[in-house]
Amino acid sequence: MADWDSLWINANLATMMPGPDAYGAIADGAIAARDGRIAWLGAMTALPPNAARKTARVHDAGGRWITPGLIDCHTHLVFGGDRAGEFALRLEGASYAEIARAGGGIRATVAATRAASEQELLRTGGERLDRLCADGATTVEIKSGYGLDITTEIKSLRVARRLADGRPVAVVTTFLGAHTVPPEYEGRADAYIDLVCDEMLPQIAAEGLADAVDAFCEGIGFSPTQTARLFEAAKARELPLKLHADQLSDLGGAALAARFGALSADHLEHTSADGVAAMAAAGTVAVLLPGAYYTLSESHPPPVAALRERGVAMAVASDCNPGSSPALSLQLMLNMACTLFRLTPEEALAGLTRNAARALGLAYDRGTLAPGLQADLAL
Ligand code: DI6
Ligand code: FE
């Protein structure tokens, strides 16, 4: 009866399916794929007779663990230049916000990204994506937000889409035109939001370049009112929402994201109890980014105990970017989610699989191991 393309035998499976065991573990199991989908999984003792003979390729996992392919649901990995100099400045006492206000930070990367050719962005972005894949990623979200003009935002999103070509990974794109006010709009943030809503968003939506829309709601980013305007415009085009919320201060970003039914609110270091309650009620996923917390030497971690108590799904991601999280190891993020944010190992792995899929609206298709889902596996 078995008629499979691939079969992995002698594997321990972390299915990540909810249940009595936090990993949804199947010890001494096997998993089969057909046409890129999971066709069967279970204990070795339940494997149909002759299964191996009727399968094109049989792999012996040799007792290793198979998890769902890891999902990095928050990255900014298409960018030009680097910001190593800012690392040194911060060591000397400058803060992330001070560097940003002095024209460094995101704006420094915007200048370098505008100057970079599409080929250059494809090459450097590809090197970064390859490292995430080597660490077990099979789905990676990539945000724009280092263009902040229509040409460069579109260039970045096209590069992000093309990065998946020829690689064993799916790329999901997010339009982050509202990342910061570009220099040519200094002091005119509302006029820039007009440009984002009235020109960038329609063109990007028409070209199908974005799977979601995000913003940086922060003192050095955009106000809740400006963010809400963008969210209205995105909703009118039926684009899902995400938000950089409450990273450096509590502007009520988590509650704002929840009010708009956003897929996720990300960072959350300064989110209040009300914000957590609003996320719980709306089913908005909390995306925790320990790499940024670590790199910026923050001391105010996200309210993990409250998120856990309220049953808010917690995802974990790299936030790969040249300023606040120059990180390309998902296994290090698993470690830091536990050591810095006190997630349990089970919660951390769920954060890079099941809950990361939810943060991208893809839980119907990936993030757990179950028949019918994509056969995205990490061995
Ligand atoms: N928060 C972040 O962690 C990234 N963007 C944001 O709004 C960092 C962006 C950068 O520093 O380049
Ligand atoms: Fe980010």
Are both 213 and 225 inside the same structural domain?
Answer: yes
> Whole-structure pTM over 0.95, yes or no?
yes
194 and 219, same domain (yes or no): yes
Domain count of the chain? Answer: 2
Residue 105 sits in which domain range?
70-343
Atom of ligand 1 nearest to the CA of 323: 11
Query: Which of helix, strand or coil describes residue 137?
Result: strand
Is 132 found in the same domain as 16?
Answer: no
Residues 208 and 258 in one domain: yes
Spatial contact of 112 and 85, defined as CB atoms under 8 Å apart = no
CATH code of residue 198: 3.20.20.140
Q: Which of 68, 91, 121 is the last residue of a domain?
A: 68
Residue 52's pLDDT is: 86
Q: Do 55 and 74 belong to one domain?
A: no
My answer on whether 48 and 159 are in the same domain is: no
The answer to the question of residue 360 being in a domain is no
Q: Is residue 376 part of a domain?
A: no
| Domain assignment of residue 353, yes or no | no
Determine, yes or no, domain membership for 32. yes
CB 216 near ligand 1, within 6 Å: yes
Q: Is the CB of 109 under 6 A from ligand 1?
A: yes
288: Cβ below 6 Å to ligand 1? no
Residues 174 and 53 in one domain: no
Q: Is the CB of 253 under 6 A from ligand 1?
A: no
pLDDT value of position 223: 98
Ligand 2 center to 14 CA (angstroms):
28
Q: Is the CB–ligand 1 distance for residue 106 below 6 Å?
A: yes
291 lines ligand 1 (CB under 6 A): no
Radius of gyration of the chain (CA): 21
Helices (H), the chain: 84-91, 96-101, 106-115, 118-134, 150-163, 189-195, 201-206, 224-236, 253-259, 273-282, 290-295, 304-310, 330-339, 345-351, 354-359
List, as ranges, residues with CB under 5 A of the ion ligand 2.
319
Who's near 147: CB < 8 A, 6+ residues apart? 110, 113, 114, 153, 154, 155, 156, 177
Same domain, 43 and 106: no
Q: Which residues of the chain have pLDDT under 70?
A: 1-2
Asked whether residue 60 falls in the same domain as residue 89, the answer is: no
**139 and 233, same domain (yes or no):** yes
CATH of the domain at 14: 2.30.40.10
Looking at ligand 1, which residue's alpha carbon is closest to its atom 11? 323
